[in-house]
């Protein structure tokens, strides 16, 4: 390799390494908390009345949604309330029909208060940050995550729970496998994280993917397997959506389910092949995608590509919040400046290219100059 090519390669490696480092640090909190399940969809019929608002909470309602939330969080909840119509439209476009039925949304300061806002006959699990009760049209959200106390991305969390309710209403309460409901919610909420990519890549490479039948009624209880269950479900649903006419096919399947057709039969009619065949195609596609990374990029660079995927999703989601655009611009400018600094340092470290012996030169004050 020539020195010019070496310099170019070194510059690229330095810039990419810096980008990887910056985003690894920036996304580390997301990766560290992404594995644990933070939401749950609860089957609960509206047989019991919801508890009243605790002290320090207020209630507002319009024709489409009723909210209960902490008075101290009014500004943050206002953002969610303003975003709700657009989020419902976004989900409706993906499902092939917009849900406009009333919703009941309750926002808690933390997991303890979440229990107080829930139906007495169906309390949320202790690990939950978000809970959907699709049959009730009820969504519970916590402003802080259990144990860690981290503030979740409330917009994404709301979008995830809305997807559970909207799907239930789209198929008129028909039975849908757990893997599909969770995978669809993850896809529609745009939830991407490094740990899910790493988990799915490892399972695919080691031929350790979970049988689809094991994910139909419930997810595993072991931490490593539930992580894989979420990653696998989200990628399989994404594969169904990305196929040619995939969204139209899903919409057709939903129409059939709303008329009483089973999930498996509706998918087979819509896609022209059985669910088992689609699962086999997805697994083959997954192996092709992930097994080609090490060959194309070499060893550890596969994780750099994963980070790039994360970064794209990360910026797309964050850029929706207009109030944060200025902050991102400052961060991007700082990153560009850092990359440029690395470029300059690399160029200074590299030796100068060799001189062509056929070109006459003279030395003056310690430097050589060509004669023209």
Q: Which of 126, 187, 217, 147 is nearest to 313 (CA)?
A: 187
Indicate the pLDDT class of residue 95, thresholds 50, 70 and 90: very high
What tens digit of pLDDT does each residue of 133-185 get? 999 999 999 999 887 888 999 999 999 999 999 999 999 999 999 999 999 99
The pLDDT value recorded for residue 198 is 85
The number of residues in the chain equals 372
Q: Which of 8-22, 174-188, 320-334, 338-352 has the highest mean pLDDT?
A: 174-188
> Is the entire prediction scored with pTM above 0.85?
no
82 dihedral zone (left: phi>0; alpha: psi -120 to 50; beta): alpha
Query: CA separation (Å) from 263 to 24, 197, 206, 214, 319?
Result: 40, 27, 30, 16, 36
Answer for the pair 156, 185: CB distance below 8 angstroms, yes or no.
Answer: no
Structure tokens at 21: 């480092």
Q: What is the pLDDT of residue 287?
A: 87
Q: Among 171-175, 223-227, 362-366, which stretch is predicted with the lowest mean pLDDT?
A: 362-366
Alpha-carbon span 343 to 335, nearest angstrom: 12
Query: How many Cβ atoms sit within 10 Å of the Cβ of residue 103?
Result: 20
pLDDT of residue 292: 57
Return the percentage of the chain with pLDDT > 70, whole number.
65
Q: Is the pLDDT of residue 13 over 80?
A: no
Percent of the chain scoring above 90 in pLDDT? 48
Distance of alpha carbon 217 from alpha carbon 158, whole angstroms: 24
Q: Which of these, 202, 237, 208, 236, lies nearest to 220 by C-alpha position?
A: 208
What the block records as the tokens of 201 is 């890549």
Give me the pLDDT at residue 293, please.
Answer: 53
Give the CA count within 13 Å in the CB-facing half-sphere of 39: 33
How far is it, in rounded angstroms, from Cα 10 to Cα 344? 11
Q: Does pLDDT of 325 surpass 70? A: no
Q: What pLDDT, on a 0 to 100 scale, did the predictor assign at position 62?
A: 85
**126 Cβ partners below 8 Å, 6+ apart?**
111, 146
Specify the range with the lowest mean pLDDT, choosing from 41-50, 153-162, 199-208, 266-275. 41-50
Q: Where are the domains of the chain?
A: 21-32+181-322
Q: What is the pLDDT of residue 7?
A: 43
DSSP H or E run through 61: strand 57-61
For 66-92, b/e burial (b = at least 16 CB within 10 A) is bbbbbeebeeebeebbebbeebbebbe
- What is the C-alpha to C-alpha distance for residues 82 and 333, in angstroms, rounded to an integer? 30
Please check the confidence at residue 313 and state whether its pLDDT lies above 50: yes
Higher-scoring residue by pLDDT: 289, 216: 216
The set of residues, in sequence order, having a beta carbon less than 8 Å from that of 185 and lying 6+ positions away, is: 39, 160, 161, 163, 164, 167
């Amino acid at each position: 390799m020539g020195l010019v090519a070496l310099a170019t390669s070194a510059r690229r490696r330095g810039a990419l390494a810096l980008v990887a480092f910056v985003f690894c640090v920036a996304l580390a909190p997301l990766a560290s908390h992404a594995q644990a399940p933070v939401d749950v969809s609860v089957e609960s019929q509206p047989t019991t009345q919801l508890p009243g608002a605790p002290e320090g909470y207020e209630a507002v309602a319009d024709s489409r949604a009723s909210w209960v939330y902490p008075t101290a969080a009014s500004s943050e909840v206002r953002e969610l309330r303003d975003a709700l119509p657009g989020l419902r439209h976004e989900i409706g476009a993906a499902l092939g029909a917009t849900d406009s039925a009333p919703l009941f949304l309750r926002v808690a300061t933390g997991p303890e208060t979440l229990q107080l806002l829930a139906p007495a006959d169906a309390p949320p699990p202790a690990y939950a940050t978000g809970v959907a009760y699709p049959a009730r049209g009820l969504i519970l959200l916590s402003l802080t995550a259990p144990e860690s106390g981290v503030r979740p991305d409330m917009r994404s969390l709301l979008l995830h729970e809305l997807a559970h309710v909207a799907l239930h209403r789209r198929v008129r309460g028909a039975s849908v496998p757990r893997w599909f409901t969770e995978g669809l919610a993850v896809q529609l909420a745009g939830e991407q994280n490094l740990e899910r990519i790493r988990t799915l890549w490892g399972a695919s490479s080691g031929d350790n993917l979970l049988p689809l039948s094991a994910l139909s009624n419930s997810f595993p209880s072991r931490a490593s397997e539930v992580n894989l269950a979420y990653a696998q479900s989200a990628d399989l649903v994404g594969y169904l959506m990305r196929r040619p006419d995939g969204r139209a096919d899903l919409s057709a399947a939903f129409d059939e389910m709303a008329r009483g057709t089973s999930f498996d039969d509706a998918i087979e009619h819509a896609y022209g092949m059985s669910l088992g065949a689609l699962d086999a195609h997805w697994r083959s596609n997954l192996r092709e995608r992930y097994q080609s990374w090490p060959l194309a990029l070499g060893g550890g660079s596969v994780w750099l590509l994963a980070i790039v995927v994360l970064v794209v999703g990360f910026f797309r989601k964050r850029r929706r919040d207009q109030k944060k655009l200025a902050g991102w611009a400052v961060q991007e400018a700082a990153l560009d400046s850092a990359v440029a600094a690395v470029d300059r340092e690399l160029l200074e470290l590299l030796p100068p290219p060799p001189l062509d012996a056929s070109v006459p030169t003279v030395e003056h004050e310690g430097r050589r100059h060509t004669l023209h």
